Structures are given as structure tokens and as C-alpha cells.
Amino acid sequence: MKVKVWGCRGSLPAPGPENISYGGNTSCLEIRDGDTLLVLDAGSGIQRLGRFLDKKVKVIHILLTHLHIDHTMGLGFFAPLYNPDVEVHLYGPSSSSESLLNRIRKYFSAPLFPVRLADLPNHPVIHELDQSEFEIGPFRIKSEFICHPGPTLGYRIQHGANVLAYMPDHELQLGSANFPLDPEWTSGFEIAVKADLLFHDGAYSFSQYEQKVGWGHSAVRDTIQFAQLCQVKKLSIFHHEPTNTDEQLDEILRRNVEGKTFGFEIEMCKEGSVYEF
């Protein structure tokens, strides 16, 4: 499988010369094997994915972790939704209060957006998920609710012997009373355990996190502890706080890893990065 990052910024797009290296678009990953295409989240990064998409792809599966605006804001700008010859499947978390279809309709309606969902030339097929396991082409997918305001899923995607785990929005400190001492009781553990590549929320430095406890995101320090607990092979820290510049992100990573050894690779995720398994 081939994985490409089209956006890894959190909460709000953050274009600008100070963010060239890590990029400004919000959450969007492309996962491909031949003609099978999975798209994880529809943040602002999905707009460019739509523009550069291989024309041979006729079926697209978009898996939303949750409905916060930074993970859905690109949907209306995703060109394949205006092409009736492409089949689009939209997956997202179920909720006890409202159907996924109604929640997606809210985005495609006044005063937020000029085109209604029903008026799109392409009528996406909606799939509600909870603690689910299913297959799409060569991918085996498992979803599970994780700790973040509102129903939010983490995804574990297996392709042959390789596993990718994706939890862009996840507050580890609030996910377990005993973090990081209790693997079975740590939110997201089953999604990430022994993954080859984990994309995980690490929006803040620790001092930034202390000002934002309960907002749904994690400090880089906790993200690294979680990756260690789950025995992953590589951690890509995701959902960068929009006001953190390239220089600050490098500095946060340096402060968290300098002088320590970990049994796995750690990086700050960069828009445009490609991973092949």
C-alpha cells in the first residue's frame, strides 16, 4: 500500500511562509492499492487530492473520524463529488442523537454551503460505523470510539502483514484514569497496538496542553508515551496546532526526544509525505 499525507494541520488551515515545511491543510490521508482508494478524513487537504487524483479511480471510500469542521471542510470542494461516474462511499461515526446522513447534510446547507447534499450530481452512499470490522478491497478495517468531544473513531487498517493506525483527534490524558500504565484501559490501545505506522494527535507542547485540558487533543509527550505503550514501529505526530510554526514544531520534537532512546521512529508529520509498504 501507498500512503500520502494531503493535510496534517489541526483545527484550522494554517497557510503561510512560517508553515511551509509541515504544511497548512487540515487532516486528509490517501491510502492506495491499485484502484482501491481510501481517504481518511475530508479536511482542507482533500481539495488537492481531488485535483490530482488518478482518473482511473472510479470508486472512492472516504472514512471520517468525526464531524468536526476541520475534518469535513474539504468535502464540498472534492471534485469527484461533482462527477456522477464516480461512486463515493462516506463512512463516519454513529451517534445516539442524530443519523450520520443528517449530520453531513448540516454541512451541505445554508448558511454554511451553497450546494445541498441532495443536489450533488454524485449521491454518496452513507455508512454508519461504531465498533466495526469490515473489508474494502485488500484492506481490513477496524473502527473504535476514542476519547474526543462528540462521537469520534480511530481506524486500524491492515493490508497484508502491515498495519496503519489513524487517530488524528484523541485526548490521551482523559482517555484513561491511569494513563499510561494500563494498556487495556487506555483509549485507542486496540487500534494502535503493534502498528507499523501510527498517525496520532500531538497538537501541543506540554505547556500548551495545560491551558487546553478537555479540548480533545494531546501533548507530544503523551503521544510518545502512548506509541511506546502500543509498541508501534513508527510514530507520525499529527494535527499540529495552527499557531505552531515550522520552527516551533521542530523545537517541540527536539525537547521531547533529545537525549532519550526509543525503540521506534518518531517524526512530526509533514504534508506531502509518502510512505510505501
Residue 70 contacts Zn ion per CB under 5 A: yes
By CB under 5 A, which span of 2-10, 51-59, 186-194, 222-230 interacts with Zn ion?
2-10
- Footprint (CB under 5 A) of Zn ion, residues 251-270: none
Q: How far is the CB of 215 from Zn ion (least distance, A)?
A: 9
Q: How far is the CB of 34 from Zn ion (least distance, A)?
A: 30
Contact 90, 104 (CB under 8 A): yes
d(CA 10, CA 90): 21
Q: Which three cell numbers stand for residue 167?
A: 487517530
Of 75, 80, 44, 36, which is closest to residue 271 (Cα–Cα)? 44
Q: How far is the CB of 168 from Zn ion (least distance, A)?
A: 6
Q: How far is the CB of 196 from Zn ion (least distance, A)?
A: 23
Q: Which is nearer to Zn ion, 176 or 218 (CB)?
A: 218
By CB under 5 A, which span of 97-105, 118-126, 169-177, 254-262 interacts with Zn ion?
169-177
Residue 68 contacts Zn ion per CB under 5 A: yes
- DSSP of 208-253, one letter per residue? HHHTSTTSS--BHHHHHHHHHHTT-SEEEEE-B-TT--HHHHHHHH
Q: How far is the CB of 191 from Zn ion (least distance, A)?
A: 16
Cell 511562509, residue located: 17
* Site size toward Zn ion, by CB under 5 A: 4
Q: CA-CA distances (angstroms) from residue 21 to 12, 16, 33, 151, 271? A: 17, 10, 27, 32, 8
Amino acid at 133: E
- Report angle CA 244, 113, 153 to the nearest 5 degrees: 55
Q: Which of 41, 169, 171, 246 binds Zn ion (CB under 5 A)?
A: 169
Answer left, alpha or beta for residue 214, where phi above 0 means left and psi between -120 and 50 means alpha.
Answer: left
By CB under 5 A, which span of 68-76, 106-114, 173-181, 219-227 interacts with Zn ion?
68-76
What residue is closest to Zn ion based on CB? Answer: 68
Q: Which is nearer to Zn ion, 159 or 170 (CB)?
A: 170
Q: Which is nearer to Zn ion, 7 or 10 (CB)?
A: 10
Q: Which is nearer to Zn ion, 121 or 150 (CB)?
A: 150
Residues that bind Zn ion in the complex, under the rule CB under 5 A: 10, 68, 70, 169
